[in-house]
Amino acid sequence: MPVNPPGAPTLSGDLLTIHRMLESPTLIRRRLRTIADMRFVADRILTQRLRSSGGAVLYDVSEPIINSRPVEAVAPGSEYPRAVTAEGVAALAAVTKWGQSTRLTDEKIKRQRMPGDELDRVLRKVVNTIVSKVDAVALAAVASAVTATVDADTYGGAWNAGTPQILRAIEVAKAAISDLDMGYEPDTILMSSSTYAIVASDEKVAALRRRETTDNPIYGGQIETIAGLVVVEAPAARLPTNDVWILDSRQLGGMADEANVDPGYTVDEMAVQVQSKRIAEADAWDVWGRRITVPVVMEPGAATRIVDTID
């Protein structure tokens, strides 16, 4: 029987690997890439990438795609009539730093069977919190800029009651955007997760889909496209209203991120910057993340929303 008490546990093997990872921005970036559930809705509907300068971004709103002077017949030997290129309304938006910090103790790392799981959990929560905030800000900006609507009541009523004409309402909304003759081509439909559940289980929509195929939602639980639009779903809490949005993601707008990364930070394709710091006196690590960005809606006419979809 041993007389002396056992020694304190030491950091070795997998535990030492995790601590080395927390010291390396490159390894943290690789870890972030393995967390597949963290994606910004904002970046899927505002796909243009702008860069800020001096903490702000300058952009044009609703730049016309045609000149005000019409083309004319040109006689042989004559000069072409000259037109002044029309420009949009200049606007300026300041970037905001959205971030959060959390603490990861040595005890939490050591008490996990897989030490890396605790690091993944911390990274996931920090980044998901940033995603949630940035998405809410971006979607609120879209909601304030986009004023065009299509009323679901005109096409069978609410989608969760009566006899809704879901596909017709979507096609009418697409046509309303295209008929502006501004070169918009709707390619995305955004809705809440609860509305998506109604669309995916609607009997009329199901009857129009191919049967006995693995892309049917009865097998995979997903509708990737409808009426030629890529389906994007988001938690209802992030959406300013529980409407359905039809939009041209290539022209609606973009996210203006501050391009320069400060020392010690690592950044991945999600534009989230992460850093960690050893707090020796607390036997812990501080892990924090941020995104320095602002949503920019450049073409409000490139989107419309279907209202009254839910009673």
Distance CA(225)–CA(156), nearest Å, equals: 22
> How do residues 261-300 score in pLDDT, each as one tens digit?
788 888 877 788 889 899 999 999 999 999 999 999 999 9
Count of Cβ atoms closer than 10 Å to residue 306 Cβ = 25
- The maximal CA–CA distance of the chain, rounded, in angstroms, is 111
Which CATH number does the domain 14-63+88-307 belong to among 3.40.50, 1.20.140, 1.20.120, 3.90.1690?
3.90.1690
Q: 18-32, 199-213, 227-241, 263-277: which has the minimum mean pLDDT?
A: 18-32
Q: What are the φ/ψ torsions at residue 56 (nearest 5 degrees)? A: -150, 165
Tell me the average pLDDT of the chain. 84
Cβ–Cβ under 8 Å, residues 216 and 210:
yes
Is the pLDDT score of 174 beyond 70? yes
Q: Are 289 and 130 in contact (CB under 8 A)?
A: yes
Closest CA to 215 of 202, 228, 206: 206
User: At 212, is the pLDDT very low, low, confident or very high (cuts 50, 70, 90)?
Assistant: low
Each residue's pLDDT tens digit, 64-76: 667 778 888 998 9
- Structure-token pair, residue 149: 């609507």
Tokens of 171: 């096609």
pLDDT of the residue at 267: 83
Tell me: pLDDT of 8 over 60.
no
Cβ count within 10 A of residue 284: 17
Q: pLDDT band at residue 114, thresholds of 50, 70 and 90?
A: low
pTM: 0.80
Q: State the DSSP string of 23-42.
A: H-HHHHHHHHHT-TT---SH
Q: 227 and 170 in contact (C-beta within 8 Å)?
A: yes
What integer is the mean pLDDT of 120-129? 86
Residue 134 has pLDDT above 70, yes or no: yes
